[in-house]
Structure 1
Amino acid sequence: MPHVGTDEYSHPVDLLTALRLPGSANLVAEVAHSVAGLALSRTTSPLTTAFLDRTLEEHEQSVVDGHPLHPCCRNRTGFSALDHLAYGPEHRPVVALRLHPAKEHVVFGDWPDELRDGSGILLPVHPWQADRLGVSSAGTLDASPLMALRTLSAGDWHVKTTLSAQITSAVRDISGNSIATATTVSDFLAGVVEGIELQPNLASAAVLANGEPDRALGVILRDKPVPRANETLLPLAALTARPVDGGPAPIRALGDPVEWLREFTELTVPPLMTLLARGVALEAHEQNLLVGLVGGRPSRVIYRDLADIRVSPRADLPERLHASQEALRAKTFATFFSTAMTGLVAALDAPDEDLWRTVAKAVPDTPDRPALLRDPLPAKPLTLMRLDPATKAWAYLPNPFSR
C-alpha cells in the first residue's frame, strides 16, 4: 500500500488528501468520481462471445477499466451512477440518440439523406446532452456507445456527438473549427497516409448560434469500418484490456508473442515514421488504432479520430493543427511508442528486451530514427496536467530501445 510518513492508504483520495499537493482540490474530486465509476464498471457481466467472434462494438465495450495511464481513468464529471449505467460502453446499453430538427444549421461534406428533414437536418444529439439543453426531438436513432463514450455506432456510421461532461481531462464538445474542417482534414490525410487505412469523416454539422457553429450541438459522422472475410476488427486497447472476470490480457492467447509483435510493428511503425518525416503526426494510441485480425494475426491497421493530428505549417490546413518538427516528433513518440507500444510490450508474455528489439527492427531509416532509438521518450504528465491544466511540458521516460 502507498505510504505517507508512517500511515498507509488503501483509497487514492485519502492518499491525495494526505499529500496536500498545491491545486489538488479538483483532482481529488475527479479521482473520487473515477474510483466510483471504475468500481461500477467492474460490476458489468463478462462477455460470453468467443474473442475472435466478437463484433467491433463488443470489443469496444470490453475495455472496462478505461484509460490505462490516466489518474482519472473512469472520471465522467457530471454523470450520476445511473448515467454511467445508461451510457457507459462497458455496460453495453442501447442509447437512443435524439434526432433534433435543426433549421438553422451548417453542414460540411456528404450529409446522409436519412438524416434530412426538408430544408433542415436531423442532428443526432446524445440524450445526456439533449436533456441538459432541452432540445426538441423528431425521433431517435438507436446506437451502441464505443470506447470514447460520446462516439456511437449506428447503422452504417460512427457518430461523434458533443457531450459537455468532463471525460478524463477534457469537456467533450466539438469546436466550430473542428466542425468546419472535419472533412478537409480527412481528405488531406487520405492523400498522404500510406500503409495505414483511415476511418474517414463523412460529414459534419452543427446548430448555428449567433451565426456560428454551436460547440454544444455538433456532430461528426464517420463511415463505419467493415470487417473483411474471416476478419475480427477491434481497437488495440481490447487486446491488452483486463478482463472483468480476471485472467490474462486477450493478446496472450494469440500465439507466439515475438512473432505477433513483429507482424504488428511491420504494419504500423514504417508508415508512422515515414509520415512523421513528411511533417504529419497521428495521435496513434490504443483507442485510435483499430486492428484487423485474421486467425488472430494482424492483417491491417485503421486509424480513426482525425481531429488531433498535427502537421508542419501549410496553407491548406487550419493553424490550430500546425506544429514544429520537434512537436510532431513528440506527438508520434508519446502516443504510439510511449503509450500504445509500451502497453503491448507489458501485456505480451515475453522478455521486454526481445520485444523492444523486435520493434527496433521495424524502424525505417528516417531523420527521426536516431532520436527514437536513443533519446528519452516523451509522455504526457497526466497527473501534473490535472494539478495544473496550463501545463504544456512533456515528461520523459527512459528509452526502452537503448537498455
Structure 2
Amino acid sequence: MENKLRSEVQQQAHEHSCKLLLNCYIRELALEKKSDIRINPNTLMYAVAFQASGVTLTGQLSYYSAMGEHEYLSMESGGEAVHYRDLVRWIICELSGDESQEASSDQHGMPKSAMEMKRSLEAENVHPLNGNTGRLETAYARDFAQKVDNSVGNLTLYIEQAAGLDIHDYRTSEQSLLYGHPFHPFPKNSKGFSEQDVQKYSPELRTSFQLCYIAVRQDVYVQEWVDDEAVMDLHDLLRSHVEPMLKEKSEMYGLLPVHPWQYTYISQLTEIQHYIRDGKLILLGSAGPTVYPTSSVRTVYVPAWNCNIKLSLNMQITNMIRTNSAEQMRRTLDASAYVRQHDCFGAELNTHIAYETGVATCAFDDEELTSLLTIAYRPIEFDIENTYVLSSLVEAPLPGMQSRLMTMLGGGRDIAERWMDRYLACSLLPIVRAAGEKGIHFEAHLQNTLVTLKDGLPVDFIVRDLEGVSVDEELIREKDRGASDLLFYSREKAWARTSYYFIVNHLGSLIHVLARDVNVPEAHFWKRVREVLVEELGRTGNEYVQHLLTTEAFLAKQNLVSCLRGISQTPAYVPVSNPMKRIGSEVRGSRGIQG
C-alpha cells in the first residue's frame, strides 16, 4: 500500500513539473517559435514541436489560460507519455542552437513599445553567454537539469507528507506553499540542503526550531533602526541564556540571530574561525523561542517576539543565493523610511505595509562575509488569526483540486466575483494610486502580499519585503534628493516592476485560479478588472491606469530562459498580451508611459 501511495505521489509531482516546464516554455518562446507552438482554445488541443530533437509533444488541455497558466489532461510524444526529464532534455537541445533573442524579437511581432521597454530593462545587463550569441554553456544546462530534479524530489516529499493539511491562520499559510511559482522551471529547488536539512528546515513540512546566536564585539557589530521605538533588544530577550555565557563581557557584545543551517556553515569558515580566535565573535549555540520558517524558507516567524526575521542562507532557493547584501539592506531601510515619510497608503483605510524596521550585521572588511550574517527585522502588526499569504490561498492542497481560496469561500461564481471586487478595491487601486500620485512602486507578487479575511471576504491588504520598492525619479521632490539613489529609477523601469509583479504575476495567477475553479474563461474576471480601472481613470486620470487599459502587452520574466542561460540576476523579459486590451472598446489615447 505504501509503495502504491508513493507511486501516486511521484506521479503527481512529475505531472505538475511537466506542466511548469511546458507553460514556461510556451510563454517564453511563443514569439520566437510561433510555427512550432500551436494551441487551439476552442478544441483545447495543443502541439509543441522541438525541432532540434525531432519530436512533437501533443495532448489536450483541461483548461485554456489566456495568461499561459494552462492545465493539462494529457502530454504525449509518439503515443508515449512524456517524462519531465524528456522535457528538460528537449528544451535544453532547443535552446542550445538558438541565437540571442535580441536579434530576432522584432521579426516576431513584438509590440514596438514593449520591445523598447524590454531593451531599456536589459540594456545594462551583460549576459554571460558564449560570445554573447545566446548559445547555452554545458555547465548551465547540467545545473538546470539538476535543479529540476531537486525541485521534483522536494515536491514529491511535500505532497507525500503535507498535502491536505489545512490552513487556518497566518503561520499555517506561510507553511503551505507546496508548489510555488507557476512560471518557474524549478520552484522548489533548495540546492545546498541535504535530505535531512529538507526534513528539518522546509516550511512546507510545518517545521519549527530554535535559532542560533552569535555574540559580536561592539567594534565590529552594526545595527541600524528606522527609529528608537523599533529597536529590539536581544540582550534583554535572551538574558537568561546569554549572561551565563558572556558573564562580565555581556555589554561588550551585540547579538545576531542565525539560521541553524547557516550557523553550521559559517562556523566552519576559516575567516570566521579567525574572528573567533580574536574574540570578535563568540558562538552561543541555539537558544530563545521557537521559530517557524515561512514561505521564503530563510525568513522565520517568531510568535513570541511578534515579528519576522529575514535571515541569510548561503544556498539556492529556486535559483538565487539567499544572503543579504549591504546594497539590499540599504535599499530596504531607505525604502522603509521613504515610504513612511510619504505616508504611502495614508488615504487607504484597508491597505497597509509590513515595514522592515531594523538591520543588524558585522562590519567585516569582506562584504561577502558580512552578507552571510546580515539580518533584517520585520514586526507583525496585522491580525495573525485571519491573515494569509496570497500565494498559499491560490494553491490547491493537491494537483487537480480546487484552490484553498475557493474551498474557503464554499461557493461559486457569485461569491468569487464579490471577493474579487473587494480585493481589487484594497489592492490594485491603492497600488496604481501610489504609483500615479507619489511615484512609489512595489514588487507586490503573490508571495509578497497578505490578505486579512472576515467572513471569507478581504478586509485588509498588506505589502511586504520593501527591498523591491522603486521610486519614479521624475516625481522626486527637491527635499527628497538626499535619499538613497538605490531607490530611484526611470519611470519606465519603476512601472515595469509594478506591472509585472502585480498585474502579470499576481493578478494573472489569482484570476486564473478563480476562473478555473468556477469554470469560466479568465476574460470574465479581467473584464471586471477593466471595469474597475475604467471607473478609476474617469475619476483620477491616472496615467498608469490608462497604460494598463491601452498597452498591447506587459513584460514577464523569462525564468526558464534566464536560468538556462545563467542570467537570473539580470533576467530576460518577454511580452505577454494584455487581456484587458482585448476586452470591450479601447480607451482612447495614451500619455506618459511607454510599454
- Superposition TM-score, scaled by structure 2 size: 0.63
Which residue, 581, 590, 595 being the options, matches 1:402? 581
2:335–2:487 CA contact under 8 A, matched in 1: no
Q: Distance in 2 between matches of 1:90 and 1:222?
A: 21
Match of 2:263 in 1: 130
Shift of 1:80: 1.5
2:175–2:205 CA contact under 8 A, matched in 1: yes
Secondary structure class of the residue paired with 1:43 = helix
Secondary structure class of the residue paired with 1:76 = coil
CA displacement, residues 366-393 of structure 1 (integer Å, 9 cap, x when unaligned): 1122321222011111111112233544
State whether structure 2 residue 430 is matched by structure 1 residue 280.
no
Q: Structure 2 vs 1, CA of residues 252 and 181 (structure 1 numbering), >3 Å: closer, same or farther? A: closer
Alignment of 1:307-318 (within 5 A): 307-313=467-473, 315-318=481-484
Question: What runs of 5+ residues in structure 2 fail to find an aligned partner?
Answer: 1-17, 19-47, 56-76, 97-135, 237-249, 273-282, 583-595
Structure 1, 343-352 or 309-318: larger mean CA deviation: 309-318
Alignment of 1:252-401 (within 5 A): 252-253=406-407, 254=409, 255=411, 256-277=415-436, 278-313=438-473, 315-348=481-514, 349=518, 350-363=520-533, 364-365=536-537, 366-375=542-551, 376-390=553-567, 391-401=570-580
1:190–1:198 CA contact under 8 A, matched in 2: no
Which residue, 334, 339, 349 being the options, matches 1:189? 339
Which residue, 208, 212, 219 being the options, matches 1:98? 212
Matched to 2:462, the amino acid is I
Q: Structure 2 vs 1, CA of residues 125 and 171 (structure 1 numbering), >3 Å: closer, same or farther? A: same
Shift of 1:237: 1.0
Match of 2:365 in 1: 210
Secondary structure class of the residue paired with 1:67 = coil
Matched to 2:223, the amino acid is V
Match of 2:153 in 1: 36
Q: Structure 2 vs 1, CA of residues 16 and 138 (structure 1 numbering), >3 Å: closer, same or farther? A: closer
Q: Structure 2 vs 1, CA of residues 393 and 17 (structure 1 numbering), >3 Å: closer, same or farther? A: closer
Match of 2:307 in 1: 157
Shift of 1:326: 0.8
1:269–1:362 CA contact under 8 A, matched in 2: no
Shift of 1:18: 3.5
1:235–1:287 CA contact under 8 A, matched in 2: yes
Shift of 1:48: 5.1
Secondary structure class of the residue paired with 2:371 = strand
* Identity between Structure 1 and Structure 2 (%): 25
Matched to 1:106, the amino acid is V
Judging by fraction of residues, say which structure has more helix. Answer: 2
Which residue, 188, 195, 201 being the options, matches 2:356? 201
1:292–1:298 CA contact under 8 A, matched in 2: yes
Shift of 1:9: 6.4
Judging by fraction of residues, say which structure has more strand. Answer: 1
1:311–1:328 CA contact under 8 A, matched in 2: yes
Match of 1:61 in 2: 175
Shift of 1:247: 2.4
Q: Structure 2 vs 1, CA of residues 118 and 32 (structure 1 numbering), >3 Å: closer, same or farther? A: same
Question: What runs of 5+ residues in structure 1 fail to find an aligned partner?
Answer: none
Q: Distance in 2 between matches of 1:29 and 1:318?
A: 39
Matched to 2:396, the amino acid is R
Shift of 1:98: 0.4
1:260–1:297 CA contact under 8 A, matched in 2: yes
Higher Cα Rg: structure 1 or 2?
A: 2
Secondary structure class of the residue paired with 1:74 = coil
Shift of 1:140: 2.0
2:440–2:472 CA contact under 8 A, matched in 1: yes
1:71–1:383 CA contact under 8 A, matched in 2: yes
Matched to 1:85, the amino acid is Q
1:291–1:298 CA contact under 8 A, matched in 2: yes
State whether structure 2 residue 329 is matched by structure 1 residue 179.
yes
1:153–1:224 CA contact under 8 A, matched in 2: no
Shift of 1:113: 1.6
Shift of 1:41: 1.6
Matched to 1:206, the amino acid is T
Matched to 1:78, the amino acid is G
Secondary structure class of the residue paired with 2:543 = coil
Q: Distance in 2 between matches of 1:70 and 1:48?
A: 24
1:161–1:218 CA contact under 8 A, matched in 2: yes
Q: Which runs of 4+ in 1 moved over 6 A?
A: none
2:148–2:185 CA contact under 8 A, matched in 1: yes
Q: Structure 2 vs 1, CA of residues 16 and 106 (structure 1 numbering), >3 Å: closer, same or farther? A: same
Match of 1:235 in 2: 389
2:559–2:571 CA contact under 8 A, matched in 1: no
CA displacement, residues 35-58 of structure 1 (integer Å, 9 cap, x when unaligned): 112112212234655x5xx12110
Q: Distance in 2 between matches of 1:245 and 1:359?
A: 27
Structure 1, 178-187 or 334-343: larger mean CA deviation: 178-187
- Superposition TM-score, scaled by structure 1 size: 0.92
